Structure 1
Amino acid sequence: MTGLILGIACVLLTAVAVVLTTRTVRRMIATIRLGQPDPTRNSPFRARFGTMLKEVLGHTRMLKWSHVGVAHWFVMAGFGGLILSVVAAYGEVFDPTFELPLIDSWSVYNLFVELLGVTTVLGILALILIRQRNHPRRADRQSRFAGSRQGRAYFVEAIVLIEGLGVMGIRSAKYAAGHFDAPVWAAPVTHLIGSVLPASGVLVSVFAAMKIFSAMIWLIVISMNQTMGVAWHRFTAFFNIYFKREEGVALGALKPMMSGGKPLDFEEADPETDVFGAGKIEDFSWKGWLDFTTCTECGRCQSQCPAWNTGKPLSPKLVITQLRDHAYAKAPYLLADNSHADVDVLGMALVGDVIDPEVLWSCTTCGACVEQCPVDIEHVDHIVDMRRYQVLIESSFPSELNGMFKNLENKGNPWGQNARDRLAWTEGLDFEVPVFDGSQDFEYLFWVGCAGAFEDRAKKTTRAVAELLHIAGVKYAVLGSAEACTGDPARRAGNEFLFQMLAQQNVEMLNGVFEGMATRKIVATCAHCFNTLANEYPELGGKFEVVHHTQLLNRLVRERRLVPVAPVAEDVTYHDPCYLGRHNKVYEAPRELIGSTGVSMREMPRHGDQSMCCGAGGARMWMEERIGKRINVERVDEALGTAPTKIATGCPFCRVMLSDGVTARQSEGLASPQLEVVDVSQLLLTAVKRGQPAAPKPEGAPVTH
């Protein structure tokens, strides 16, 4: 009788859960479809599906944090792999002797269930422990769970634990009652627990009901909470990963401005009818709405964000959850076509009411959030889309950017320097730098960049690279006054119109330079120029083979065209530029170059794809940093922990920011006066020159002893 009562209760509860879940899923799909169309997400099917399977089954993103990834993999495997145990529980709640046909008597299947049951319990216990050890009450702002809704996470963790215990409880109770005949090797834990349980068929029904009740209560609760991403990601993560922008991660090129599912054409665009970035929640694409829905609030993005870690208000996690909450609050009115109803949520400004302007403009677009997100949320694209609307429609942006925009428009560089001074860096070199005039035969076009041409510290990098190419006998040419900013700072600050203007001019000019040439090779010293030329110009018709100077120089060392000689002992730490490393996966070339010079390489705690930003990206180079600790000083402090004699990098923006940070610490007596920031190319040039014979002294020069 007990089993019958429990069984009927399970069936009734299941009916309620199925009805509510079906209704909620339909509503969620309709809600996500409120976003703008984006036809770029649909193909190729095989590549996308393969990537999704690899990321889900291989847990490739989660395993970047191995201990968390392993525990989560077992919980995920238990959720999917034990689905038949739920099916079996419906029979077991009525009849304790019930078995699934064919497989329940198969020892291999029993071993499979045993392993999943035990590891699910152990995995969720590990995750519970990790959450508690990193709880905001312990670590405050440094906790990646700061701002997450802990109650929802506790609920999900409790349900998973009950589910795992339910599986093991059913099996152990069946063994105790004599209804389980799997050998010990296939169910060792079941045999151990079952040996101390009473022989009772009712106990089997109770454990079966416990499993069904926990599963159905979970469905009912999440059906009533559409914004409960910590639970819904179990279903939406598959789709979010499948539909992501790139096969890897949404880094490198920014998502183009879209309106109505097509790239925005500024010559024909109408602000009254076209979408300019994101000024309202419905201006985000449907993939953006799926991103908001899928966020698990795990805080991995937040833990890596340079702004959050230096006391700024920006948390990538909170940006997504705030957009999600606003989207799902506004969705019922949009679905009912009550978009003009007098309701507070409809009158909320996206930037101002939902997202604080200080949050929006604190982002360096370093991509750490995107790199770490286990469900492939595209934070940077969404932040830049909001910036685009603020700049192009609202004309609301930090005052410092106004000067930069004017300089880019009028002078072709963010510093407002004259184009005729772009070759000033060549002065004093003992060889002639070839300037393109249409007649040279060259292998590489050397893209100097604005910083490399005008910024005194970056000029040293430019001169070093030019000298190394000269020594190696590489045929190259520079553009001189014909070169203009690639548009990177304008685009990441949201001024897409200015970016398009600069980029189209450059593409037209470069296509003319390479006209008739079999190869179209460009070498760039600036990581931002490198990224823009390689990843963003192709969509405008500029397809070139672009390499970073560390890649080319490393190749020349391998080919023995450059031969470095080991120096006296030096300790060097290397800072990964975000737009070279995370955005373009160039990690090894600069490290191999440093290694070739014979110095001692010391890695900072945060390096590679977890490297800390210098603070210059996202046009932050031209904005004041008024809140919290300066990002460049934070990075320099980390570098100082390695006790280096030099800090090396591979980007002029990073060099400027780190140099300023070193100067600040030197003025406080916290850094050695001899410590300097150099480009990798300078280390190589010094080592190469060390191996060259000294130049003969001029006739009549005094002899020194």
Structure 2
Amino acid sequence: MLVRLILGLLITVAGLAFAARRAAWLAKLIRSGQPDEKRSDVMAVRAKTHLAEVFGQRKLLKWSVPGLAHLFTFWGFVILGSVYVEAYGALFDHDFHIPLIGHWAVLGFLQDFIAVAVLVSLAVFAVIRIRQAPERKERASRFFGSHTGGAWLILFMIFNVIWTMFLFRGASAAVGVFPYESGAWVSLGVGELLEPLGTSVTEPLETVGLLLHIGVMLAFLSIVLYSKHLHIFLAPVNVTAKRLPDALGPLLPMESGGKPIDFEDPGEDDTFGRGKIEDFTWKGMLDFATCTECGRCQSQCPAWNTGKPLSPKLLIMDLRDHLFEKAPYILDGKEAPEERPLVGTKEDFGVIDPDVLWSCTTCGACVEQCPVDIEHVDHVVDMRRYQVMIESAFPSELGVLFKNLETKGNPWGQNNSDRLAWTKDLGFEVPIFDGELADDVEYVYWVGCAGAFDDNARKTVRATAELLHLAGVKYTILGTDESCTGDPARRSGNEFLFQMLAQQTVETLNAVFEGREPGTRKIVTTCPHCLNTLGREYPQLDGHYEVLHHTQLLNRLVRAGKLTPVKPVDAGPVTYHDPCYLGRHNKVYEPPRELVGATGATLSEMPRHADRSLCCGAGGARMWMEEQIGKRINLERVDEALGTDAETIVTGCPFCRVMLNDGLVQRQSEKRGENVTVRDVSQLLLESVRERDRTATEI
């Protein structure tokens, strides 16, 4: 008894000291990141998120089979902690049991049940890893680029925890010192198998099992702290520190040293974006260290799925490896002898290749799927900000975009006087803001640059305007007072240009809504990018408005009986494409689908839809950049739509409509989908609500 006590304590002290040294090093490294004061929300809200995502495994359960296996494994760690309490108690007292509950059969049953469930889960993980082996599936495997050897080692160590547990508990039962007389069905069964060996064998076997069980746990602890499986300890912290409600929708304002940058009078030491690894906040560094290399982000990334070099997983892994590589210099406060550029080509020994950085569409699929709440999009945009504003290193097409935005106030470079061209020949008068907002005007209709200047998008805004007119909704447009919200500038990294455009628009809107309470400052728009910027980013600039997407408002009008579909739409089978900035970024999934149903159309979903919808390829200012690597993303999405045999592809975003239409035109030139059209939800609804004997206005 004394020998095993001494041995048990010695390996524990040694194991914990080794682990504590690494844990202290990691904590110091992460704390070295830049301040981030935005993570101090109400703890009750963060506790709720923590419970749902950590203990409820909410995100992992979106992937049903591996999610369930991970749920059992996680709860195995939690529940089997009680077995280690019993194990350490047994070092001191052969007859130890947990006070109050130590003889409770239910606890014994739960311990054995979860251990068996973990074993089954290990088998599931093994099958998944064999079927998804990168050696066979290459880029199609979500484990491509991951450290698969380390993953197998972890599975092996978990297996060792389970079998040593049953050896220790079974031998304890055979010796007669097991706390449970019933309930612990596997342990008692092992005890019955061992009992015929006699106490001369089972007593030393119980000591060996106990020390092995403790030793495996301590070895496992150190392996975790020195491997990608850091997430076992860091994931709960990262989930608790996440952006609320999630890291999608608004981008974070630029800060330096934890304080917002004053773009009118920036400080001399202000850092614009992230130009080196130590420029990231502590949350960014925590993100890098937390990555599980599971590849769920990679499997959903439109860039990776079309042959681009960007993998959100590999990007985070590269940043993590660079952070650890540079850690000795960061912690010592010294400059590295040879500073690698954070963004640069292989020839320049860059950490992140420019083609990786600029392939991102900011669609948010990576953030949506990440089980540990890594904020990939924020990091991509922060690096873009440095490249644009400090290095002036960006795709040449963006130079044209920036010039158009700065001089013309729109990405197309069109004259502002053309913003009202879409209102011609509608058959009714579109109300234009005349300097004072009438009391009965409920909405400002934000047309947006696409709606004003793109021919296809004009069809959408015309249809929406006519529907609002038919429903008797009082609205007004700003006409030539409109300008770009700044979305493409911000997502391409030109934060200075965004600030200029956004402040101008906030001043305009605040003047329009002057005297109105916040709850009556309502805007409706057909563009999800405008929706997101006006409603969720302008509060950063003191612009507070209630912003609706046109599908949301139209759906309310249909439900209220103000718009009544009177005939089934002539569209054939329909498939709906979820715009990223309407769906994932703003969680609007049902209103467009309800409207499609209201028109009498038959909806056929694409395999990737709702929160797993594939991007059209236009986001992140990619709309204005050439796509020269791999397959065009819009072609991939059009191919998926054509696979549903739909005759109409419906969407609710002008950018998506352009991209899908361009892809469809190319496929039709190849004799595919020749009877297919791309339309906005509003066009289908308008066709359905018009009276049978009414001559349709051409839209």
User: Scaled by the length of structure 2, what TM-score is found?
Assistant: 0.95
- Which residue of the partner structure matches residue 452 of structure 1? 451
- Which residue of the partner structure matches residue 558 of structure 1? 559
Matched, 1:584 2:586: yes
Cα distance, 1:16 vs structure 2: 1.6
- Separation in 1, partners of 2:87, 2:696: 90
- Which residue of the partner structure matches residue 646 of structure 1? 648
- Which residue of the partner structure matches residue 622 of structure 1? 624
1:494 aligns to what SS in structure 2?
Answer: coil
- Which residue of the partner structure matches residue 603 of structure 2? 601
Extract unaligned runs of 5+ from structure 1.
698-705
Q: Is the 8 A contact 1:572 1:645 kept in 2?
A: yes
Amino acid at match of 1:430: G
Amino acid at match of 1:369: C
- Which residue of the partner structure matches residue 499 of structure 1? 498
Amino acid at match of 1:683: L
After superposition, the C-alpha distances for 1:633-661 in whole angstroms (9 at most, x for unaligned) are 00111111110010000000000000011
Cα distance, 1:490 vs structure 2: 0.3
After superposition, the C-alpha distances for 1:82-105 in whole angstroms (9 at most, x for unaligned) are 113123223546876554444332
Please list, as runs of the form range in 1=range in 2, the aligned pairs for 1:132-171 lying within 5 A after superposition. 132-171=130-169
Q: Is the 8 A contact 2:436 2:512 kept in 1?
A: no
1:84 aligns to what SS in structure 2?
Answer: helix
Percent identical pairs in the alignment equals 57
Cα distance, 1:696 vs structure 2: 12
Cα distance, 1:316 vs structure 2: 0.4
Cα distance, 1:675 vs structure 2: 0.4
Amino acid at match of 2:541: L
Cα distance, 1:6 vs structure 2: 5.5
Please list, as runs of the form range in 1=range in 2, the aligned pairs for 1:7-18 lying within 5 A after superposition. 8-18=6-16
- Separation in 1, partners of 2:427, 2:450: 22
Please list, as runs of the form range in 1=range in 2, the aligned pairs for 1:221-232 lying within 5 A after superposition. 221-223=223-225, 225=226, 228-230=227-229, 232=230
Q: Is the 8 A contact 1:581 1:609 kept in 2?
A: yes
Q: Is the 8 A contact 2:437 2:512 kept in 1?
A: no
2:256 aligns with one of 250, 255, 259: 259
- Which residue of the partner structure matches residue 700 of structure 1? none
- Which residue of the partner structure matches residue 243 of structure 1? 241
Cα distance, 1:188 vs structure 2: 2.4
CA-based RMSD of the aligned residues comes to 1.8
After superposition, the C-alpha distances for 1:138-157 in whole angstroms (9 at most, x for unaligned) are 21101111111012111211
- Separation in 2, partners of 1:113, 1:277: 49
1:210 aligns with one of 195, 212, 230: 212
After superposition, the C-alpha distances for 1:195-231 in whole angstroms (9 at most, x for unaligned) are 33344122222222221121111223344x2xx232x
- Which residue of the partner structure matches residue 88 of structure 2? 90
Matched, 1:297 2:316: no
Extract unaligned runs of 5+ from structure 2.
none
- Which residue of the partner structure matches residue 509 of structure 2? 510
Q: Is the 8 A contact 1:368 1:610 kept in 2?
A: yes
Q: Is the 8 A contact 2:115 2:162 kept in 1?
A: yes
Matched, 1:408 2:410: no
- Separation in 1, partners of 2:94, 2:121: 28
1:393 aligns to what SS in structure 2?
Answer: helix
Matched, 1:476 2:478: no
Q: Is the 8 A contact 2:443 2:523 kept in 1?
A: yes
1:336 aligns with one of 332, 337, 341: 332
Amino acid at match of 2:606: M
Amino acid at match of 2:622: R
Q: Is the 8 A contact 1:360 1:387 kept in 2?
A: yes
Q: Is the 8 A contact 2:145 2:314 kept in 1?
A: yes
Identify the range of structure 1 (4-13 vs 562-571) with the bigger mean alpha-carbon deviation.
4-13
Q: Is the 8 A contact 1:632 1:661 kept in 2?
A: yes
Distance of aligned partners of 1:411 and 1:348 in 2 relative to their CA distance in 1, 3 Å threshold: closer
- Separation in 2, partners of 1:461, 1:350: 40
Q: Is the 8 A contact 1:93 1:206 kept in 2?
A: no
- Separation in 2, partners of 1:314, 1:324: 16
Distance of aligned partners of 1:696 and 1:56 in 2 relative to their CA distance in 1, 3 Å threshold: closer
- Separation in 2, partners of 1:52, 1:485: 38
After superposition, the C-alpha distances for 1:314-368 in whole angstroms (9 at most, x for unaligned) are 00011111111111111211211222x52x3x34444441000000000000000
1:66 aligns with one of 54, 64, 67: 64
1:196 aligns to what SS in structure 2?
Answer: helix
- Which residue of the partner structure matches residue 37 of structure 1? 35
Please list, as runs of the form range in 1=range in 2, the aligned pairs for 1:104-143 lying within 5 A after superposition. 104-143=102-141
Q: Is the 8 A contact 1:575 1:649 kept in 2?
A: yes
1:335 aligns to what SS in structure 2?
Answer: helix
User: Scaled by the length of structure 1, what TM-score is found?
Assistant: 0.94
Identify the range of structure 1 (235-244 vs 107-116) with the bigger mean alpha-carbon deviation.
107-116
Matched, 1:545 2:546: yes
- Separation in 1, partners of 2:570, 2:659: 27
Matched, 1:278 2:274: yes
- Which residue of the partner structure matches residue 532 of structure 1? 533
Please list, as runs of the form range in 1=range in 2, the aligned pairs for 1:346-357 lying within 5 A after superposition. 346-352=339-345, 353-357=350-354
Distance of aligned partners of 1:259 and 1:551 in 2 relative to their CA distance in 1, 3 Å threshold: same
Matched, 1:575 2:577: yes
Q: Is the 8 A contact 1:370 1:378 kept in 2?
A: yes
1:221 aligns to what SS in structure 2?
Answer: helix
- Which residue of the partner structure matches residue 313 of structure 1? 309
Count residues in correspondence.
683
Identify the range of structure 1 (171-180 vs 307-316) with the bigger mean alpha-carbon deviation.
171-180
1:188 aligns with one of 185, 189, 192: 185
